[in-house]
Amino acid sequence: MTATGTVLGYAMKGLHRLPRTLRRAVLLRAAGGDLPAVPDYVRMLEIAGDLPETGPTDAELFDRFPQLAAVTVTEQPAGVPAMLYRGPGTPAAGLVWVHGGAFVSGSLRMAEAHFTALALAARGIAVLTVGYRKALRGVRYPAGSDDVLTGWLWAVMNADRFGVPAERLHLGGASAGASLAAGVAKRLRDGAGQPPASLALIYPSVHAALPPWEPAELAAIRGRRAVFFSPEWVAAMSRHYCDDLGDPYAFPANGEVAGLPRTLIVNCEHDTLRSSGEAFADRLRAAGVPVTVHLAPNAVHGCLGEPFTVAATEVIDVMQVNIISP
């Protein structure tokens, strides 16, 4: 138990009680820079329950993007928390989508899950957002991976709810969710079930330790007003998440990557996790896996959680094109 983490936890718990607009203002002022040490961060989340939700309300989203109001959202009995998003008309494809949160935070309510699903569903891609157990209070790998696998297998068995054949179901995620999606794709390749038609990995972190950065490049990213994932922090969170840093499913960059489905990787320019996405793309290409890599210019990590930014719209555009028209 850490004293700093305890103080942060109760402070964060207090933020949950504030109106959303005030929460946004407080967290915006504190945004950017290094995260608390992993033990403090974990303790904070164990006390607070999760980070306060600061994304736009549905009313705000529909005001900016009226087409999203036509999307139907229903809870699904998938064996894990899951919400299905269907737009008007017959969908062209289906996607099982996994939010991020460094394996320890995030929910189906966060914009990275909810907005992404609304936006893609409005564009003709039925989306099932899948929740998973976080690495808190003694829960560790493979709990989250097992939950994503459960959600995927349910989707395959119930593809009619998406309105598409199971062969047109794709799998994807953002940040830690991308790591979970890639790890589950490897489990499916190795016999756990039907593989996805493709993978969509958005600002992924798939290594136990970040591939190297030049110190000057790291310093330039640290200087921006955005969350900074230092190599040391990423390595410490990896150790918290899983004892075996060589596990090929917990950290999908490990082991053989041949045989994975075609893959989209979107990296953000001002994001230290970009080195993981870039290195993974190189490995996939070398193994003969078709890969599309997109660099979101001027974007920071977690941009899908900021729906009113140019970067979020651009990433949604890229995902739509690569899922519907490979």
Q: What does the pLDDT read at residue 12?
A: 84
Element (H, E) at 93: strand 93-98
Predicted pLDDT at 30: 63
Joined tokens for residue 78: 């998938």
Contact by Cβ (8 Å): 206, 251: yes
> Can you name the residues that pair with 170 across neighbouring β-strands?
95
Q: Coil, strand, or helix at residue 29?
A: helix
Q: What is the pLDDT along the chain (326 residues), one digit of tens a residue?
A: 578 999 989 888 888 888 877 777 776 666 667 889 999 999 999 999 888 888 899 999 999 999 999 999 999 999 999 999 999 999 999 999 999 999 999 999 999 999 999 999 999 999 999 999 999 999 999 999 999 999 999 999 999 999 999 999 999 999 999 999 999 999 999 999 999 999 999 999 999 999 999 888 888 888 777 788 999 999 999 999 999 999 999 999 999 999 999 999 999 999 999 999 999 999 999 999 999 999 999 999 999 999 999 999 999 999 999 999 76
> Residue-wise over 57-75: b if at least 16 C-beta within 10 A, else e?
eeeebbeebeebeebeeee
Pair 96, 130: CB distance under 8 Å: yes
- pLDDT in the model for residue 17: 83
CA distance 146 to 14: 32
pLDDT of residue 226: 79
pLDDT at position 54 is: 82
The domain ranges of the chain are 1-54, 56-324
CATH 3.40.50.1820 for the 56-324 domain, yes or no: yes
What is the 3 state secondary structure string of 134-200?
CCCCCCCCCHHHHHHHHHHHHHHHCHHHCCCCHHHEEEEEECHHHHHHHHHHHHHHHHHCCCCCCEE
**pLDDT score at 220:** 85
User: Is residue 102 left, alpha or beta, with left meaning phi > 0 and alpha meaning psi from -120 to 50?
Assistant: left
How many Å apart are CA 67 and CA 133, to the nearest integer? Answer: 32
